[in-house]
Amino acid sequence: MKYNFWFVVGSQFLYGPEVLVTVEERAKEMADKLSELLPYPLLYKVTAKTNQEITDIVKEANYDDTCAGIITWCHTFSPSKMWINGLNNLQKPYCHFATQYNKEIPNDEIDMDFMNLNQAAHGDREHGFIAARLRMPRKIIAGYWQNQNVIERMGDWMKSAVGVAVSKNLKVMRFGDNMREVAVTEGDKVEVQTKLGWQVNTWAVGDLVKEMNAVTEQEIDDMMEIYSSKYDISTDNINAIRYQAREEIAMKKMLDRENCKAFSNTFQDLYGMEQLPGLASQHLMSQGYGYGGEGDWKVAAMTAIMKAMGENGNGASAFMEDYTYHLAEGQEYSLGAHMLEVCPSLADPDKKPKIETHHLGIGMNEKDPARLVFEGKAGDAIVVSLVDMGGRLRLICQDVVCVKPIMPMPNLPVARVMWKAMPNLTEGIECWITAGGAHHTVLSYDVSAEQMKDWAKMMDIEFVHINKDTTVQELEKELLVNDLVWKLK
């Protein structure tokens, strides 16, 4: 889907036609220039002067699947009672852009005509009041429209809004159920569909095996060419790689047939399969599909959404699991990995991941599964976990700093990422556990905490951010207040 955003400019008839013509020209100019710099086009739609015009444009926006959100601005004053009916019906993400056409006050030429045209400073306050009064979730971005930082923030918000659109249409394919007895991977699928739009349903592993058996040798040959162009084949066990190709082709056919962008499976249910999909899941993830291990459909869905929110609609975001800690003083790190399934979008782009085969003792693997092995790159990142608190969903986001793994770990046969959690490893762990965050997360290098906060706000779910300033004591208070607030909602 090619998404766009609509620029809706508020005004009124009071100023006479000349001013309105100028407002329209400038709004078009701004939308055109911004479209060149933003990740998605900003289409100028209307200079709205009446209740009817606003109601009509909102109805149109709601109905148009390509419209991922509206951005409003008041060059002149736009009395807000005429916005009430429209805003009450708005079903798309909403950003209030508090900006100004001119950057500076023109010392010599400023007169009352200038003042009548350039009224954003009070026009945007009138506009802001009504959204506050209506308790609308919205993003407010203030600043000169050509300022680099302002454009970046708007771009980030657009990506969050696209995350909303992706979420509302997301279908998740579950191969089997979740791992027996595990709590955090459970959740209310009806609540999730109501709140986030996800359609989460199960397909039998037998259906997948049937699809795998129908894959041709030619299809596998073609996939092997793709693998060898992208990765270093570091094993003689070519049959194991060919088996992963067969699994990938079959899973992709089923996903695409049902229009699913995320999937989960579990090592406890591989009935009729020789290997847990490793390379197969990893290569699917690199193409933008979300994945969750052990039947974790929530993390699978979040991975797909956060990938879509990233650079070029498929960013460096991946299913991750906190595995083990390095607790040496002054060198405290988390080591993240999974049994097999870490997305190569986390790898250093200059180093080709290796395809290796190793024995995997856990699960029902008859043969050694092939998997990609690589190191995650260094850089600022976040880890995100969505948990079902019973009656509501909580999105937990923690700032982390990824480092090049501090040791080579030559006998570890999986991809690995190493990071420092905020505010520091042990307090970070205490905060995470206090909030109920899962061992499965989405780790992202190019979606920010602010974007996840915006997404959570638009989705109307609880958001908890663990950052350099968080303390357990303050977090406990915040969670207590959240419990009360969300009971009232």
Q: How near is the Cβ of 259 to Mn ion at its closest, in Å? A: 26
**Residue 264 φ/ψ region, left for φ over 0, alpha for ψ in the -120 to 50 degree band, beta for the rest:** beta
Q: Tell me the C-alpha distance between 153 and 315, whole Å.
A: 17
Q: How near is the Cβ of 198 to Mn ion at its closest, in Å? A: 20
Residue (321 or 454) nearer to Mn ion, CB: 321
Residue (249 or 417) nearer to Mn ion, CB: 417
Q: How near is the Cβ of 336 to Mn ion at its closest, in Å? A: 11
Kindly report the length of the chain.
489
Q: Which two tokens stand for residue 488?
A: 């009232």
Q: How near is the Cβ of 291 to Mn ion at its closest, in Å? A: 11
Residue (339 or 397) nearer to Mn ion, CB: 339
Full strand arrangement of the beta sheet holding 232-233: 232-233, 354-357, 370-373
Residue 364: count of CB within 10 angstroms of its CB: 16
Residue (288 or 293) nearer to Mn ion, CB: 293
Query: 335 pairs with which residues across the strands?
Result: 324, 418
Residue (230 or 439) nearer to Mn ion, CB: 439
Q: How near is the Cβ of 163 to Mn ion at its closest, in Å? A: 24
Residue (80 or 365) nearer to Mn ion, CB: 365
Q: How near is the Cβ of 444 to Mn ion at its closest, in Å? A: 18
For Mn ion, the binding residues (CB under 5 A) are: 293-294, 321
Side-chain half-sphere exposure of 31, counting CA atoms within 13 A = 23
Give the three-class secondary structure for 380.
strand
Q: How near is the Cβ of 265 to Mn ion at its closest, in Å? A: 11
Amino acid at 98: A
Residue (80 or 264) nearer to Mn ion, CB: 264
Q: Tell me the C-alpha distance between 125 and 81, whole Å.
A: 13
Q: Tell me the C-alpha distance between 212 and 248, whole Å.
A: 9
Q: How near is the Cβ of 97 to Mn ion at its closest, in Å? A: 42
Q: Tell me the C-alpha distance between 365 and 426, whole Å.
A: 36
Residue (163 or 278) nearer to Mn ion, CB: 278
Residue (294 or 356) nearer to Mn ion, CB: 294
Q: How near is the Cβ of 299 to Mn ion at its closest, in Å? A: 9
Q: Which two tokens stand for residue 413?
A: 């046969």
Whole-Å CA distances, 144 to 19, 103, 188, 247, 287: 21, 6, 44, 52, 37
Distance spanning both ends of the chain, measured CA to CA: 33
Query: CA nearest 2: which of 39, 34, 47?
Result: 39
- Identify the helix (H) or strand (E) that includes residue 381: strand 379-388
Q: Tell me the C-alpha distance between 355 and 413, whole Å.
A: 10
Helix pair angle (238-257, 205-213), 10° resolution: 120
Closest residue (Cβ) to Mn ion?
A: 293
